[in-house]
Amino acid sequence: MSMLVKFLKNLVKPFVRRRDRGLQKDEEELKAVAAIDNGVFCYETLALATRNFSPKNKLGEGDYGPVFKGRLKDGRLVAVRRLRRLPWQCEKKFVGEAMKLSRLQHKNIVSLYGFCSQAEHKFLVFEYVANMSLEKALFSRENKVLALMLNWKWRYDMIFGVARGLLYLHEGANTPIIHGNIKASNILLDDSWCPKITDFAMSQLFQGGLSNTASRVTSSTEYMAPEYAMYGLLSPKADVFSFGVLIIELITGQKNSAFNPRTEASSLLEWAWNLHKNGKAMEMLDPALKSTADAHLVLLCAHAGLLCAQSDPKLRPDMGRLVLILTRKQRAGLEEPIRPGSLGSSYRSKAHDLQDSSHSSMAESSASSSGAYNNTTTASSSSFSFAAASPTPSYSRQHILESRHPS
């Protein structure tokens, strides 16, 4: 009898083992799916999605590392950024910061699906945005986007969409974000040509959110606020300045970095400011837009852009006020902008005045995000300061955060 029992056990043993292995495999797959749902990817998943980071899947290479196109098992297309070596103080907080950033959700922000942190491997997994960057669309003049670019409404939609995205980063997110590198190449366009801000995670991962050091995010100097470029002082008003440059580029169709200096102006911003000051702001309009342009909106956007690009950060409007200006479409009551800031701008007082203004601009945020902008960095104690801030009209922050595209 015992021989028969033993025989039967040996007979069914392979099937039991196979079932156990199947259950174990199912359990591992469920754990993998659960991890992805929580924004945590393993290295093997990303290697499989990108065909082992094949050169054929490479979308490009930025300041922070290469980006690869990939497809997850659930069918989602993703853009996987392999990060270069993080500063040691940033590595310790990478997971916590990445998890916070993955919770950001807005139609004008590229979604961060999650991250991977395995040994030396650090990756960020973003939604894949099918179209090109705003820089390519605006300045390359490819045939397939030419009709869009030559339409004023499209340019205005870009301005308003980026404004809403920046407002969300500054005030609408649970973790307020200073981008630090707003520029045309960091605005991606989806299938519907909706603008989406990308690379917003870099300021958190490489400096402000993780470190109190003065190391700065790698930024394009033609978009950088003078106080950030020269002294490393980063506040929401630095993003506002960069946005102002972007507005003027969209109106004129010219690159700030490619502007040919003239007798009356050394930069695109100064040229635009001179035209505005002399009542000739329509002359800055891209000639290709003349047949579709709304003169009132062109003047409004030029005025707003120059207010953003003022040398004094205290005089720049915050993003809430800018979205309100673009929503109401009213120029009445807008203050006149002072000369735009630029590298080498001279300031006449003490450094702490500017630092105070940086902290003040953070404190002007909504009550829900009050005190969240405590990551202004200082790189120098050189002497400079600015004039007193102009009064800012009152408005409902909640209304602005929820505001829709003006009709």
Q: Is residue 245 one of the residues assigned to a domain?
A: yes
CB 313 within 8 A of CB 386: yes
Q: Which stretches in the chain have pLDDT values below 50?
A: 23-34, 208-215, 217, 344, 346-352, 354-355, 357-396, 399-400, 402-404, 407
- Give the pLDDT score at 87: 62
- Give the pLDDT score at 343: 54
Asked whether residue 233 falls in the same domain as residue 352, the answer is: yes
Asked whether residue 86 falls in the same domain as residue 211, the answer is: no
Q: Is residue 30 one of the residues assigned to a domain?
A: no
Asked whether residue 232 falls in the same domain as residue 270, the answer is: yes
- The continuous run of DSSP H or E covering 121 comes out as strand 121-127
Asked whether residue 116 falls in the same domain as residue 151, the answer is: no
Asked whether residue 91 falls in the same domain as residue 184, the answer is: no
Average pLDDT, the chain: 77
Answer with the one of 127, 159, 180 that is the final residue of a domain. Answer: 127
- Structural domain range at position 255: 134-401
Asked whether residue 118 falls in the same domain as residue 210, the answer is: no
Rounded to the nearest 10°, the torsion over CA 141, 145, 151, 157 is -110
Helices (H), ranges, 38-49: 43-49
Write the DSSP assignment of 236-262 as a string of letters.
HHHHHHHHHHHHHHHHH---STT----
Asked whether residue 115 falls in the same domain as residue 146, the answer is: no
Asked whether residue 335 falls in the same domain as residue 247, the answer is: yes
- Give the pLDDT score at 93: 77
Q: Is residue 168 one of the residues assigned to a domain?
A: yes
Closest by CA position to 306, among listed 266, 271, 350, 332: 271
Q: Supply the Cα-derived Rg of the chain in whole angstroms.
A: 25
Asked whether residue 69 falls in the same domain as residue 201, the answer is: no
- Give the pLDDT score at 389: 34
Q: Is residue 28 one of the residues assigned to a domain?
A: no
Asked whether residue 295 falls in the same domain as residue 364, the answer is: yes
CA dist 367 → 7, 9, 100 (Å)? 75, 70, 20
Q: How far is CA 103 from the centre of its chain?
A: 15
- Give the pLDDT score at 4: 64
Asked whether residue 240 falls in the same domain as residue 338, the answer is: yes
Asked whether residue 104 falls in the same domain as residue 158, the answer is: no
Q: Is residue 14 one of the residues assigned to a domain?
A: no
Query: What CATH number does the domain containing 187 carry?
Result: 1.10.510.10
Region of residue 236 (phi > 0: left; psi between -120 and 50: alpha; otherwise: beta): alpha
- State if pTM tops 0.85: no
State the Cα–Cα distance between residues 264 and 280, nearest whole angstrom.
14
Answer with the one of 127, 148, 171 that is the final residue of a domain. Answer: 127
- The total domain count for the chain is 2
Answer with the one of 88, 104, 127 that is the final residue of a domain. Answer: 127
CB 348 within 8 A of CB 385: yes
Given the structure tokens 């491997």, which residue do they identify? 121
| β 121-127/65-71 pair status | unpaired
